[in-house]
């Protein structure tokens, strides 16, 4: 009996294990809906306006998915859970301003980039403006972001403080608990423009990056379909309209 139960457990484990597969493009098409995960706390790219998910990459995803002839179901989760959930087949795609890095490309498959940007240094003190001036300083960054990775590479930095959300990292700077905040140039631009009273000063780029959607590793047909839809919205003016609505300029990679 014991042996039978063990065999049974092994077999059901194998069956359920093999059932956990990334949905193929055909399966997504048959279902008619693609599930896309984002964060929802990263204006102007993905954020909540009341109960509604909004932002550049939210509208861009909706336009692309429409080109694919599908409906879009959004999931909003904490940033550092997004890529892991893709690997666990909890959703089909992630669009949350992920920069393409070699490390991430080992774990997921990136589509073509949909915008180009970079991490900038922000401080209340105009003297803190480049990598060298971060020596001996405390810097706030979002956990798991490329900002964290790149600040950690700077030997002279006194302390890297991680925050679950980028807005928390910004608040730490505003409250004077850190000397600098490193974040996306467009996120910083939008935050400083809408809150001029905060006295935040934008310094130099620390690094540049290409931002892309991610699908499960091996799901090349889905990535190809997304790339095709992206090329279409870039060609027909849709991309430009959405980009200018949220960023006041066209931010595609040149």
Site for ligand ARG in 128-157 (CB under 6 A): 142, 145-146
Is the Cβ of residue 57 or residue 179 nearer to ligand ARG in the bound state? Answer: 57
Q: Between vectors from CA 110 to CA 244 and to CA 154, what angle results, nearest 5°?
A: 85
In b/e form, how buried is each residue of 32-64, taking b as 16+ CB within 10 angstroms? eebbbbbbbbbbbbbbeeeeebbbbbbbbbebb
| Coil, helix or strand at residue 28 | helix
96 binds ligand ARG (CB under 6 A): yes
91 binds ligand ARG (CB under 6 A): no
55 binds ligand ARG (CB under 6 A): no
- Interface residue with ligand ARG among 34, 172, 184, 230 (CB under 6 A) is 184
Distance in angstroms (rounded) separating the CA atoms of residues 192 and 187: 9
Q: How many residues bind ligand ARG (CB under 6 A)?
A: 13
97 binds ligand ARG (CB under 6 A): yes
110 binds ligand ARG (CB under 6 A): no
Tokens 């089909």 — which residue?
92
Distance in angstroms (rounded) separating the CA atoms of residues 228 and 224: 6
186 binds ligand ARG (CB under 6 A): no
Interface residues with ligand ARG (CB under 6 A)? 39, 42, 46, 79, 96-99, 142, 145-146, 166, 184
């Amino acid at each position: 009996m014991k042996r039978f139960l063990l065999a049974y457990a092994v077999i059901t484990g194998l069956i359920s294990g093999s059932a956990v597969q990334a949905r193929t493009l055909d399966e997504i098409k048959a279902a008619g809906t693609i599930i896309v995960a984002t964060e929802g706390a990263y204006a102007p790219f993905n954020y909540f306006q009341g109960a509604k998910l909004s932002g550049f990459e939210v509208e861009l995803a909706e336009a692309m998915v429409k080109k694919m002839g599908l409906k879009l179901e959004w999931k909003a989760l904490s940033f550092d859970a997004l890529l892991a959930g893709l690997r666990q087949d909890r959703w089909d795609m992630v669009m949350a301003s992920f920069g393409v890095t070699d490390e991430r490309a080992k774990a997921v498959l990136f589509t073509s980039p949909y915008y180009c940007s970079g991490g900038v240094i922000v401080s209340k003190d105009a003297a803190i403006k480049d990598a060298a001036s971060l020596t001996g300083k405390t810097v706030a960054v979002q956990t798991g972001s490329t900002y964290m990775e790149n600040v950690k590479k700077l030997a002279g930095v006194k302390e890297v403080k991680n925050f679950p959300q980028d807005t928390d990292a910004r608040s730490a700077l505003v409250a004077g608990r850190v000397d600098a905040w490193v974040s996306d140039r467009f996120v910083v631009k939008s935050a400083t423009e809408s809150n001029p009273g905060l006295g935040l000063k934008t310094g130099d780029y620390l690094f540049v990056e290409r931002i892309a959607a991610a699908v499960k590793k091996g799901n090349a047909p889905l990535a190809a379909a997304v790339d095709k839809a992206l090329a279409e919205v870039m060609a027909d003016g849709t991309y430009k309209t959405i980009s200018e609505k949220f960023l006041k300029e066209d931010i595609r990679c040149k």
